[in-house]
Every structure is written in structure tokens, then in C-alpha cells.
Structure 1
Amino acid sequence: MNTPTRDLDRPLAPPRVPERRTTAPVLAPAVLAAVLGLWGLTRHSSMWRDESVTYQVSHRTLGELLALLGRIDAVHGLYYLLMHGVFALWDGGLVALRLPSVPATALAAAGVGALGSRLAGPRAGVLSGVLFALFPATQQYAQEGRSYALVTAGVVWATYLFVRGIDSAARGWWAGYGALLAVVCWVHEFAALVLLAHAVTLRLLGVPWRRWGWAAAGVLVAVAPLAVVGARQAGRQLGWLGRPSPAMWLAFLAVSALGLLLSRVPPLADRTVTALALPLLTVPPGLLITVSLLRPWYVDRYVLYALTGLALLAGLALDRLPAHVGKAAVCLLALALLPASLAVRTPESREDDVVAVARTVRKLSRPGDGVLFLPSRRREWLLSYPALYARLDDVALARSPAASRTLQGTELPPDTIRSRLLAVPRVIALTDPDGRPLDPFPREEVKRRTLREYFEECGRVRVWGAQVVVYVRRPDAGSAARAEGCRGER
């Protein structure tokens, strides 16, 4: 039997619940996400090193910023340009740094609500969006001066346009889908992994691929220049990553298993729900963590948007319960997640606290002291405090970050670092906490060896994720003179 050619362009509309005109699925999650995002936004006046990168890079001149992106961090280029504009309009410190992520998260939660409503009705939409807003990871990145909330919002709404495109003969949905996703991929190129999830959805639903294929091809063409530049920078950009740890695998498998379990709830046997939500939850992180066995690229926040799938599955499952039971379940879940919600608003929820490091250096240092970063990438701890940094002598620095078109500057050869270090009587060393692996590079080894052989430790202050150590040059005299040197510090 021959199929008419015109049928190839006709979308196979998945079954869905007829929509009732209500704004609750969009507004309720958005308001909740915004309130949660503003709650404790400054995290007790703390900032971690990735946010410090955003802060100091976004404060460079436009020329310096573009020069940097030609060498490293092009994957975050569009976000840095956005934040450059934010700080040009209002240099509001930590609040300005994080504030764009709050409406982005609210927009993402609204999109999850819109998706749930489209798939299963307004009540399911409200529940899905509210659950998404309550996830601790959602709240964490709503208060982060990085791009992940913006990427999540873009992917969620692109997925909404994807669903509308499947359900409509109009081509405008696919045009919007391709345009939005192309922009989102320029904010962070790993957003492109959602294309694979959508491809799996189309395959499971048996929907024709033609219009989606054109839109997806447009996205890939649009993001290709960034992908080429990003591939060249990958060694410098992602060289710090190791292969996925057992804990990462367990977390991925546990979340995937939970999603699979929710998809097996009898009322969710509707293939449209599972065909959309389950690939969205599992395919992007699953592919990235698997590829990372060969090329370590996996960090869960790079695919934060995958939690949309879990929120949809959980929200639609709760929608099948009686209304009062569903509301009670959401309230109980919010209470159960409250400790985690509080935890993500503390400095300890991140790897370090740049503000605490700078405060400690200001307290312990004197103008003209030498400062040494072990390893060199910890220079980031002071770069967001240029006045404090300028009063110290960075003994290992060859060229500043702006001059070298790098994030943390370049350093002198090992022999020069040694001679410069021996010329200063007092050094403030910024190091990782005890027990962290030591970089084996010659520059780092000569720093440690020179401090050990020619300097005496006179004070050590541990702050979250870092240590600030005061060293004084040992006199040529014996042990009594060395003791006198440290007594002067007290």
C-alpha cells in the first residue's frame, strides 16, 4: 500500500489532555522559583571560584574579554558578554552576579509547568513545575553566577516548542525551536545534547523526523563555529576534570532508576509522557558520562536541564492521586528537602569561599608582602579583589590575566620564581586544604621546595576550601634566630 507523499509532512500528534485556559501551571511554579531564588541569595556573603571567574572576567574591558575568548572559555562567551552588560548597568556585587539566574530559574519552572499542562492538564503542570522549583539542584543554580540556570530555561522552553511542533501542522513551532536552541547552545554547547533526547522521543512515538531534522540541522550548523573553537580549547578548558567517579555513576544511575520507576506507574503508561520525559532525564547525562570514560567532560551541572524529565514524571504521578493527597505529598516533600534547601545556601555547599580567603588575606597581610598561589590557578581567589591583590607582590606572576589573555595569568620559569621568592622577607601563601593532590609541575615543585627550605611557617588559617599560610624568610643565624623571626609575627 502506497503512502501519499503529503502524509510524510503531517505530524503524528501524540495523545494529550485538552488544555483549559489557566495561568496557574506557569505562574505558580515561576513565583515559587523566584521566591526560593531570592531567599538567601548572597549565601552569607560567600562566593566560590567559578563565580569569581565570572565576576573578574565580566569586569574586563570588551576588548580584553574578546581576546580571552579567543584563547579559552569560548563556551561561556555569550554568558560573559551578558554579565559584562549587567555589570555595566549596575555593578551590584554578589547580588548583580547572581540575580540573572533567579528569573532564568523562574522561567524554567514556568516552562516545566507549561509542559506538564500540555501533556496531562493544568494540575499536572502545577505539580511538575512546583517539584522542579523544589529540587535542591534547581535552587542551587538559581543562586549561582554561572550560565546553567539560563541554559536550563532555554532547553525547557525549546522542549515545549518541540512538543507543540509534534502536535501541530504549523511550521512556526519548529522555526522557534531551532532558533531558541541555537541561542541556548551558544550559551553552553552541551545544551545540544538535548537534540539526542528529542530524537529518541520521536523514535519512540513514531513521529516523522523531517521538520525536526531541518530544525536540528540548523542548530548544529549554528553552533558549529563554537564547537570547533571549543574543541581546540578543550585541553585548557576541561583539563582539570577526571574520569567519572563511582559516586557520580551511582548518582546518575539512582536518578535514572527513579525516573524509570515513575514511568512505570500505571497511569503514566501513556507513551507520550514517558517518551518525552525519560529520554530527557537519561540521554544527555548518560551520553556525557559514558563519553567521559575516554574524554573526561562530565559534570552534572553541564546537563542540569535533564532534571526537567524527573519533574515531569513525578508531577504527573502525583496528579493521579486524589487532590488532597497530592498536595500533602508536595508539602511533605518540601519539608523533607528543607535541610538540603538550607544547605545549598551556605558557603559549604560550594568547593571554596573566595570571600573568606580574601578577608583572611586582608587581615594577615601587609602592603608589599609577597603572595604565592599553590597551585597557580588559585590566583582566582584574589582576582575579584583587585585593590587587595594590587598591594601584594605576586612573586611568580609573569603576565597578568588580561595581558596574557588567560583566566589566571601566566607564571615565570621555575628558576626565576625561586630567585624572586628568596628576595622577599614575608610571603602569604594561598593553598588547597590538606590532603589534596599536589600538582607535579616544575613551577609548583619549586614553590613548595623553596618555602620548605628557606622559609618558616608562622601562621596558618583554614577557611572553607582553602588555607592562608604566612611564611617568614629564615635568617642565616641558627635556630634561636629563626624562632625570633616568628615571634615578631605575634
Structure 2
Amino acid sequence: MDRIVATARRSPPFTYRGFDVIATPDTLQRKPHFSRLRSVQLAPIYVGFVGFLVSFAASWVPSLWRDEAATAYVANHTTSELFTIVGQIDAVFGLYYWLMHEWLSVVGTNPLTLRFLSAVAVGVGAAAVTATGTRLYRTSFGIVAGLLFAILPRMTTMGIEARSYALCAAMAAVLGWLTVVLSDRARALTAVFYFLVGTFAVYLHMYAVLVVGTLWLSGMFLARTKKSRIWLSFASAGVFAATIPLLLLAKNQAGAQISWINSSPLRMMYQAVVEQYFPYKTVVRFTTPDQEWVRVVATVLAVVAWLLIAVVVVRGWKQYRRLLIFSLPSVVLPTTLVLAYSLAVSPVYTPKYLIATVPAFAILLACALFSLRRTWVQATAVVLLVGLIVPIYIAQRQPNAKFVIDDYSFIAETVDHNAREGDGILFDSSPGDPIESGRNAISGYPQAFSKTLDMAEVTGPARLTTPWSPQLSFNQIHQVVEQTPRIWLVTTPQRDNNANADYAAELTQLGFREVSRFAGPTHIVLLWSR
């Protein structure tokens, strides 16, 4: 007996959820040191702050593009007008538009304020991933997972995007943490928070409902008691029930919402492997020549990451069982289901729509790094990953990194620096399709146009039929044009080379002549005067 006691006293402590657990003859006593406890509590905060800074840095530099202009346009309506718009299109962004409406009403509209909440969301998501990794394995693992979440190209590009994707990823990360908490200890209050966060995530982006399902599946395997499984099942069922109205409304709007998705099967497979977590651009359908080198870097990065993950799945199942049970379903199942539906029924897959799977992917990639047994191999893998991420990060923050066709910042700066009080402004190539019009610059940069009169602005119910700013035809504003001495005309090279282009021809007939021109990446800003 004395030998058994002596052996127990000599047994080293082991780590459980970030704490030292010491074996004694009678029981296992969990005795966290104060410094260790403090590091466990503060680690998510530190990592979350780093995550915020990574996305916030230079977030105001890239020009807004049409989807972000839609956010600004809808959010700057009254609440009743906002919901009139989303009742016809973009219902899946309704909650986000309302949040942005409240935010912009306080801070005003510009690229920094439009994107600020997305950068904050990346910080929240990084903190939640850190807390989840710490609880599943240990503090150092949680820190690595949280940092990976913050620097993954999918998050650094969505962190400077004025859309709901980063917020959705943050809520999915928090939901993952709540899944682990609820699996360890069943509490009604935790289940209530799980329901609220899960519902919030789905209303931020509908595809998050798939991650709610996979987290429930992981929770069933991770749960320590039957009571935990019951609470998790009730909370998940509540999320599904609460989001049925959104799913039905989105189904009715699917024609206008996702009709543009037309990727080939081979293209979708490439997107799933590379662009879902390692995007080299914001816009899915268009790639400019100067983005090709970034595509190569992103492809190499994806290959390295997936090879590392393959190693841990094959060799590390026993050691990292809980981590893999948590992360693999949320990475594999949603992607497989959406791809299968796209191939068999109708295209619905685009990489950023599965943003809610990023927290699980970050944990899976951290697991892959920890599975490397030699320190120098781990260090090499980290340097390689970071070295490939940095050029993508820099490319994301160039002035025309998002969508060079929508060079709204050039239009806004030109007008802001050269316009006089009372000048009029017109935008070519509309009213045919407001999505393609340069007038969307007014939505994202309203202060730059404060000195000008938007002569073709639509008022009344007609402006509530689209998330992009529509405009009147020239015939409807003919009288206003005649009374304005100087008019700025925003057009494109194609229309500028056409002497019969609508606005140029009409202005010439009214006695105007071109006196200045400013050429940007894809738009030309002309000053016409009598």
C-alpha cells in the first residue's frame, strides 16, 4: 500500500482543458495555478484583439464594390423602407442590413465605417476559436487555432467586406464554443444562448444552418452525459424551427438571389479546395490579369494546408480524437452537401457562402500543425503557411483589389476634389441595369458628392425595388439639366468612344461642351459646361 501511495505522489501532473491535474491516492484533484488560470481566461481576449487588428489594418484602402454599395444603399433607408426592399430581394441579408442601418446612423457612411463591424467580427471569431481550442485540448493549441482563424485569407478578405459573412463566421465560432461547453456540462442557460446565437448566425447567412446541424452531430459524440445530448438537441431543433421563415422567403427569392451562379463542376471543385478558405480575390466570376500570380500563391497555400490536414487525419486520430470529431464534420459535410446539390439539381455553391465552416477549418489546421512531431518541422510548416499568406494579404488591400470594374473610390475622389457647390452629376449606362452603374459610388461615398446635385435620383416607391441605386432617364430630367451650368458625367471608355451615347449626345444638343476629363481604371469622369 505504501508503494502505491508513493507512486501516486510521484506521478506527474497532466493537462486537462488548460489546467494541471494532479493524481493522488484518493482522487484526481484539479488544481489550477493562478497564473495558468489567468492565461486561460485572457488568451481569447489577446488573440481576439490581434484578429481585429489584422483585418482592420488598411481596411479603408480598397475601393468599395457593388455588393458593398448595396449594403450602404439599403442600410441608409428608414427601417420600414429597408424591410420593403428585403421583402423583394436580399432577404438573407435582412438582419445584417438592419444592424448596419443602426450602426451607420451613428457613425456615418464611408469605407472605414462600412467595414468596421466585419473587422470586429473577425476578432470575436478568433477569440471564440481560441476558447474552443483551449477547452478541447489546451491553451497553446487554442491560441494557434485562433490566430490561424484570424489570418486565413478567407477571413482577412471578409474582414474588409461590408457584408454579413464575417459576422456569420463569428457567430458560428461562438456556437462551436457553446457546443463544447454544453457537451461538457448540461445547463439550460447555455442551451438558451446556443439557440440565440445559432438563430442569429443563420439569419446573418442562411447556409450557416448546415453548420448548426454538423455541430449538433459533433456534440452528440462529444457529450459526456445524456442530459447534455438532450439540451443540445432541443437547442438545435429550436434554431431550425426559428429559421424556417427565412428559408421559405429565401426560396421565393432564389431566382434573383443566386441566378448568377453558373460555375462548371471542375470550377466548383477548384473553388472548394482553394477559394473556400484561401481566396485570392473577392469576386467569384472575374479575374484580372494582375491577380493571376495571387491565384498561384493561393493554390500552393491550399495544397500545403490540405496535405498537412491529411497527415493528421491519417496518423493523429487517436491523439486528437476530440478535435477531429469537432472539426471534421463542420468542414466536410456542409461543403459536400452544397456541392452535391449544385451538381445534381441547381448551382448554389460559391466559396464565401460557406463562411460558417471557417472556425472548424482553423481548428483542423491547428490540429495538423500540432501533429507534426518535430519542432523544426512544425516551425517550417508555420513559416511556409505564413509566408504564403502574407502576399495574399497585401494583395487584398490594394486600391482596386476587390473588383476593378467598380472603381468607385476613383469616381468619388475626382468629384470631391474638383466639383463646385451646385454642380450637377450624371452617370451613364443606366437606368438599364443599376448594378453596373457608376452611380453606386454615391451610396458608398456620400460625403464626396455633397457639393453636387444628383439630378437623376429616383424618389418614391420605385427606389425600393432594388438594393442598388436606380436612376431616372434623361427625358425625365431634361428640364433640370437645362438649368444647371456645370455637369459631371461619369461614363466608361466604351460609351465615351460612341458619339451617339445617350448623355453625351444630349448634353451636346443642349449647348454643353467637355472641358475636363479624368480617366480611372474603368470609368471616365468628364466635366461639361455651357
Q: 2:332: which partner in 1? A: 282
Amino acid at match of 2:408: V
- Give the distance between the partners of 2:466 and 2:475, measured in 1 at CA: 23
- Distance change in 2, residues 1:218/1:23 (3 Å): same
Q: 1:263: which partner in 2? A: 312
Query: What's the offset of the Cα at 1:245?
Result: 6.3
**Most deviating of 346-355 and 452-461:** 452-461
Where 1:347 maps in the other structure, the secondary structure is coil
- Give the distance between the partners of 1:400 and 1:350, measured in 2 at CA: 32
- Give the distance between the partners of 2:243 and 2:354, measured in 1 at CA: 17
User: Does 2:428 align with 1:372?
Assistant: yes
Q: 1:391: which partner in 2? A: 453
The correspondence for 1:311, drawn from 349, 358, 362, is 362
User: Does 2:244 align with 1:224?
Assistant: yes
User: Does 2:349 align with 1:298?
Assistant: yes
- Give the distance between the partners of 2:272 and 2:363, measured in 1 at CA: 17
Where 2:18 maps in the other structure, the secondary structure is coil
Q: 2:253: which partner in 1? A: 233
Contact map agreement 2:68 2:444 (CA 8 A) in 1: no
Amino acid at match of 1:271: R
Amino acid at match of 1:230: A
Q: 1:343: which partner in 2? A: 395
Contact map agreement 2:131 2:177 (CA 8 A) in 1: yes
Query: What's the offset of the Cα at 1:376?
Result: 3.0
Contact map agreement 2:18 2:138 (CA 8 A) in 1: yes
Query: What's the offset of the Cα at 1:273?
Result: 2.0
Deviations 1:329-369 (A, max 9, x none): 53553333211111111133211332223345678999456
Where 2:428 maps in the other structure, the secondary structure is strand
Q: 2:87: which partner in 1? A: 70
- Distance change in 2, residues 1:264/1:83 (3 Å): same
Query: What's the offset of the Cα at 1:386?
Result: 5.4
- Give the distance between the partners of 1:134 and 1:171, measured in 2 at CA: 35
- Distance change in 2, residues 1:324/1:123 (3 Å): farther
Q: 1:357: which partner in 2? A: 411
Q: 1:107: which partner in 2? A: 124
The correspondence for 2:48, drawn from 30, 44, 69, is 30
Query: What's the offset of the Cα at 1:193?
Result: 1.4
- Give the distance between the partners of 1:61 and 1:452, measured in 2 at CA: 35
Deviations 1:397-431 (A, max 9, x none): 8766764442235678xxx879989x989994645
Deviations 1:280-315 (A, max 9, x none): 222223322332343333222221232222321221
Deviations 1:50-104 (A, max 9, x none): 1111122211122221221222222111111111111222226222211112221
Contact map agreement 1:161 1:173 (CA 8 A) in 2: yes
Query: What's the offset of the Cα at 1:246?
Result: 3.4
Cα RMSD after superposing both structures: 3.9
Query: What's the offset of the Cα at 1:181?
Result: 0.1
Amino acid at match of 1:313: L
Task: Tell me how many residue pairs correspond in the alignment.
Answer: 440
Amino acid at match of 1:305: A
Contact map agreement 1:64 1:405 (CA 8 A) in 2: no
Contact map agreement 2:118 2:159 (CA 8 A) in 1: yes
Amino acid at match of 1:357: I
Deviations 1:133-177 (A, max 9, x none): 121221121222211111111011111111222233434433322
Contact map agreement 1:252 1:285 (CA 8 A) in 2: yes
Contact map agreement 1:158 1:177 (CA 8 A) in 2: yes
User: Does 2:523 align with 1:467?
Assistant: yes
The correspondence for 1:407, drawn from 467, 470, 493, is 467
- Give the distance between the partners of 1:178 and 1:369, measured in 2 at CA: 49
Unpaired runs of 5+ in structure 1? 1-15, 435-446, 473-487
Contact map agreement 1:78 1:186 (CA 8 A) in 2: yes
- Give the distance between the partners of 1:453 and 1:244, measured in 2 at CA: 42
Query: What's the offset of the Cα at 1:455?
Result: 10
Q: 1:138: which partner in 2? A: 155
User: Does 2:18 align with 1:19?
Assistant: yes
- Distance change in 2, residues 1:99/1:451 (3 Å): closer
Deviations 1:225-244 (A, max 9, x none): 11222222222222333235
Where 1:391 maps in the other structure, the secondary structure is strand
Contact map agreement 1:277 1:310 (CA 8 A) in 2: yes
- Give the distance between the partners of 2:367 and 2:358, measured in 1 at CA: 14
Contact map agreement 1:90 1:96 (CA 8 A) in 2: yes
Q: 2:23: which partner in 1? A: none
Amino acid at match of 1:261: A
Unpaired runs of 5+ in structure 2? 1-14, 20-36, 275-301
- Distance change in 2, residues 1:27/1:368 (3 Å): closer
